[in-house]
Amino acid sequence: MITKDYLLKTLNWLDQLHDDPTADNQKTSSYSKLALIELCGWIEETMDDIVLRCAKRCLKSEANKKFIDKTISGTHSFEYEPFRKMLIMVIGLATLEKIEKKLEKTGKISALKGDLVNLKKSRNRAAHTHTKGTLRTYDAPSKTKHDFDRIYALLTELDAELQRHKC
C-alpha cells in the first residue's frame, strides 16, 4: 500500500507557513522549494517501495530479492524509465507492457511520465541552485499538493495493476 499521510502532513504544514502573512519572500520561497524537494523524495521512495513489494511477492530466491534491493539502493531517481527498468527486472517486459497498455488507454502512463519530467526540471533547478541576492520563484506548496494528489492517484493505480498481476 502506498502511504501518503506523512507527506500530506508536511505539505499542509509548508502551505500554512507559506501563506502566513508575516512570512517574507525568502521564507515563502524556501517553503515552496522544500515542498517540491519533499514531493520528489516521496516519489522516489514510493517507486522503490512498489518495486520491492513486487519483488517480495513475485521472486522466490532470496539472492534475487537481495539483488533487487541492491539495485534499488543504487538507483537515485524519480524518473519513469529507471523505475520501469527495475519493474522489468522483477516482472518482465511482456507483463509490464500489458499493464502499461491497459493504463495508457486512459492516458495514465503518459500523464505520469509528463508529471515526472516536469517535476524533474523544477526539482533540479531547486536542488542545484542557491539564493544569490534575488529569489527564484517556485510553485507554492498548494500547487505541489495538487501535483502530489495527481501523482499519488497515478502511482496507486499502477501499483494496483501490478498487484493484480499473478507472478
Q: What is the pLDDT of residue 166?
A: 80
Q: What is the pLDDT of residue 135?
A: 62
Q: What is the pLDDT of residue 78?
A: 87
Q: What is the pLDDT of residue 93?
A: 96
What SS3 state is found at 133?
coil
- Determine the longest span between alpha carbons in the chain, in angstroms: 57
pLDDT at 133 over 70: no
Output 94 or 137, whichever has higher pLDDT.
Answer: 94
Q: pLDDT digit string (tens) for 6-55?
A: 999 999 999 999 999 998 888 998 999 999 999 999 999 999 999 999 99
Among 107, 87, 83, 111, which residue's Cα sits nearest to residue 97? 87
